[in-house]
Amino acid sequence: MGVKATTNIYGIFGHPVKHSLSPDMHNSAFSKLGLNSVYVAFDIEPENIGKATDALRVMGIKGINITIPHKQTIIPFLDEVSPDATLTGAVNTVKNEDGKLSGFNTDVGGFLRAIREDLDFSPEDNTLFLIGAGGAARAVLSAFCMNGGAIVYIADILKDKAIELADQFKENFENIRIETIEMEDKKIVSEKFSEADILVNASPAGMDGVGSHDIPLASLKKSAVVYDLVYKPQNTKLLTDARDLGHKASGGLTMLLYQGAESFEIWTGETAPVAVMKKALGY
């Protein structure tokens, strides 16, 4: 279906955003269902997130996904934030209803479904080692804590950011042990790796053009699984190294798929054609 004067516009705000596969995924879904809609990518500099959010109202853009680095900074510019996004402290989906902007977080459900289906893993009574403390990390932590996780270790190159994240979640989940770990302290990292049931990279490390973390992966216990939220490249160094060591490991395409399907349904009220969206992602 070609773009018309009546075409509904959806998209994604990020910086950088040229690597995004979301346009392929959502446009294939619109086409499959015969919806007069199009999805495009908007590269928004961090200092312009407020202006860009206001533009949604002015231009009548129906919905937007939010990615790095805007998942937290967009919140003050929204009219309403869902309970899951409030708990997470991050928004990845915005719906525009006649100028009223509502924020949601579909990363939580997307991550949970991905680890269950890809890795046959459930958070219940398990230990998480989480790398990263940004918006994506908040979604991972929410999914883990809301579904019976027992212990969490958080490491980020920005120590204060990790401490802030840990403190916020300690207030809401007093029964879960949440600690911060310094990335530079390889001895402590190795020790906590040996306790982890799942290692999750929720940082940009390993993304195309971004270096990987130097981590003691060999310290992971043999039964531990690994999930890397990075999806481009599909096989990051972390995933390759983990599989070489015998760990079950999966990358971020499935989380992208499932969070995208939930966003699609929030925007359109239609059941997302998951198989079509998965094919568009190339796996």
Cα dist from 55 to 52, 85, 124, 237, whole Å:
5, 22, 42, 39
Alpha helices in the chain (DSSP H): 22-33, 49-59, 83-88, 107-119, 135-146, 159-172, 186-193, 237-244, 253-268, 274-280
Active-site residue (options: 62, 71, 95, 192): 71
Helix/strand/coil for 278: helix
Rounded CA separation 89/173 (Å): 14
Q: Active site includes 62? A: no
**Token pair listed for 112:** 């949970």
Reduced to 3 states (helix: H, G, I; strand: E, B; else coil), residue 179 is: strand
Please list the active-site residues.
Answer: 71
